[in-house]
Amino acid sequence: MLSSIERRSRREVGAAMSAEGFDGQQSGLGWQRRWELARGELTALTDSMRRGRLVSATVLPLPVRRTLLRAGGVRIGRGVAGLRRCRIDNPHVTIARDVYVNTGLQVEGRAPVTIGAGVMIGPDVLILTSTHDQLADGTFGPTIYRPVTIGERCWLGARSVVLPGVTIGDGVIIAAGAVVAADCREPGTYAGVPAKKVR
């Protein structure tokens, strides 16, 4: 039995195929190319749904949330808990064993994100992997993706932000609301904007 989303997606694909004639005679775009475009859009929609807030809804049991995120390409280790109302837009995420992910984690971009074993992630943490360089004329260049690595036994406080290209070492504590703009490799507590070692 098809879900309402699958039925709607099939209708949209059909509409795209027949908008100007399935054979492409009117538009000059062959049916094979139309099908490739429609299938690409459908795949992107499906991948987004498998990693979005729908799959981490609190009404779903934790084993179901983990399974759906894995189906979306997220690598999740044993004992990972939480995962409520998360949005993982990045298909290159690895979460090691025994990690607790509190409500509202958001992981953005396309570069790899690696979260080590035993990490505690507070509510509404944001991990970014994409950025733009500003050019000499004041405009912005193409999107640049930089990987993020979070070591083992770290604690990311509520609403902390991890910027692209950052490495957080083992045993590091990031205070609530901190913005991690540079590597924090040495164990200790980092706080502020940008985050600096305070203990």
To which H or E segment does residue 121 belong?
A: strand 120-121
Alpha carbon distance 11, 153 (integer Å): 48
- Matching residue, tokens 């690696």: 114
Contact 105, 128 (CB under 8 A): no
Alpha carbon distance 5, 109 (integer Å): 25
Q: What is the bridge-based pairing of β-strands 100-101 and 167-168? A: unpaired
Check 132, 185, 196, 197 and give the catalytic one: 132
Alpha carbon distance 188, 190 (integer Å): 7
Residue 92 known to be catalytic: no
DSSP secondary structure letter of residue 60: S
Alpha carbon distance 56, 115 (integer Å): 18
Catalytic residues: 132
